[in-house]
Amino acid sequence: MGAALLAAYLVLWWVIASAASRRHGAAFFALGLALLALASWAYRRGRRVWLYRLGYASLLAATTALLLEAALHVKPSLLGGRVANFAYSGYHPYRGGIYALDPEIGPLMRPSVRRWMYWNGHWWWHESNAQGWRGPALDHADVVFLGDSMIYGHGVPAGDSVPARFARATGLATANIGQQGTCAPQQLELFRRRGVPLRPRVVFLCAHPSDPEDVARMYAPAEQEAYLQRPGYHARVLPEYGPPRRWDPLWLWARHAELPLWSGGILGSLVRTMRERRAQEFTAARDPFIPTAAERDEVLPALRADAPAAERRAWLVHRRAVEELRGLCAGAGARLVLFDLGYPRTFSAATEALAGEMGIEYSPAGRVALGRSLAGERMYLANDGHWSGGGAAAVAGELARTGAVRAIMRD
């Protein structure tokens, strides 16, 4: 095989491997090399047909992949449901994704990334600044927001996130350090790195009912125990969420070599949809979205009187992270304010009680949005459950009434 034909074959398998898997493309590329080696061996022994057939099949597969990719860009609605969520999502650390991997935070938003994002039928433009978070870059912020996707602004433009709505309502310089999928220990570490240098006077932390579950998902039991026993301990995430070995061929391919194709997420999407059934990721179709009575009355496993030791420990880690954040804020001259979604009621009550025990101001902002939703206003994204622009405005308006904000507005 001449150099030109070899180069053409490698390009074809670059496309095929990139379209076959977002995570394991290197394995598909290695398969292509193995097939080429076998076909070349047969060619040297007079069986030329196998090399021709491999070349034709490779050309056909690569062309099909590129046509599929073009079709998805022209008409993204060709995919739907869970498959579209994973295929179009940018919530990943591979080529084209918005995350890098950190040993203590796990997925960490990369600076200066711009791309379209998708989930549950909603498209939005993601744009992280040079400091690595959503919204304008700042040397100083009066207010810092911490939380997960509810604060990041999942499903809405940056200007419709809670921090952006708050900034417009108050005129205060506001930083949105919220990041999808994070729990309190991760948010504490984000504040250490990105929030403290901004010298804020108020820090808002949005607690989410998935926080204990995310603690259990991100940290090994031994790390959780160390976190509880050693104040100031920086827990490390499980290996699958942290940086891979630098020589890992799968990672090197996925992060640096593969083409960022939407079609590359389809095969993995099909596998994940059969493997994952998390309710917060796959919300049943509801337009308008209104939390049901069962969702409002749910008692989280970690808060049950008979909670298993593992789930109880995850809640204690959540509490410890909030406690350490309180101390970090106090040392930085900032007041911490705690709020939540307003439901489930038991979680919201537990969050308010936690604030009371720690001497932290609590805001019922999430309950206000919930109440307005039950009264018929659209507070949440259809078929999704994250705050819409209107919901974010309601939450931000209530947060602007907190004592911590009124104090700095008087200064």
Per-residue pLDDT of the chain (411 residues; tens, 9 = 90+): 578 888 999 999 999 999 999 889 999 999 999 999 999 999 888 888 999 999 999 999 999 999 999 999 999 999 988 889 988 999 999 999 999 999 999 999 999 999 999 999 999 999 999 999 999 999 999 999 999 999 999 999 999 999 999 999 999 999 999 999 999 999 999 999 999 999 999 999 999 999 999 999 999 999 999 999 999 999 999 999 999 988 899 999 999 999 999 988 887 777 766 766 544 444 467 999 999 999 999 999 999 989 999 999 999 999 999 999 999 999 999 999 999 999 999 999 999 999 999 999 999 999 999 999 999 999 999 999 999 999 999 999 999 999 999 999 887
24 in a structural domain: yes
Which amino acid, 260? P
357 in a structural domain: yes
The boundaries of the domain holding residue 61 are 3-77
Whether residues 62 and 193 share a domain: the answer is no
CATH number of the domain where residue 389 is located: 3.40.50.1110
Whether residues 48 and 148 share a domain: the answer is no
Whether residues 63 and 197 share a domain: the answer is no
210 in a structural domain: yes
202 in a structural domain: yes
Q: How far is CA 385 from CA 122, 286, 379, in A?
A: 11, 9, 9
Among left, alpha and beta (phi > 0; psi -120 to 50; other), residue 61 is alpha
Whether residues 313 and 378 share a domain: the answer is yes
- In the structure encoding, which two tokens stand for residue 198, read together? 């901004």
99 in a structural domain: no
Give the CA angle between residues 21, 104, 200 to the nearest 5°: 115
Q: How many domains does the chain have?
A: 2
β-strand partners of 375 = none
β-strand partners of 102 = 106
Whether residues 10 and 140 share a domain: the answer is no
Question: Which single residue is written with the structure tokens 């809405």?
Answer: 156
Whether residues 51 and 141 share a domain: the answer is no
Among left, alpha and beta (phi > 0; psi -120 to 50; other), residue 119 is beta
- In the structure encoding, which two tokens stand for residue 287, read together? 């337009």
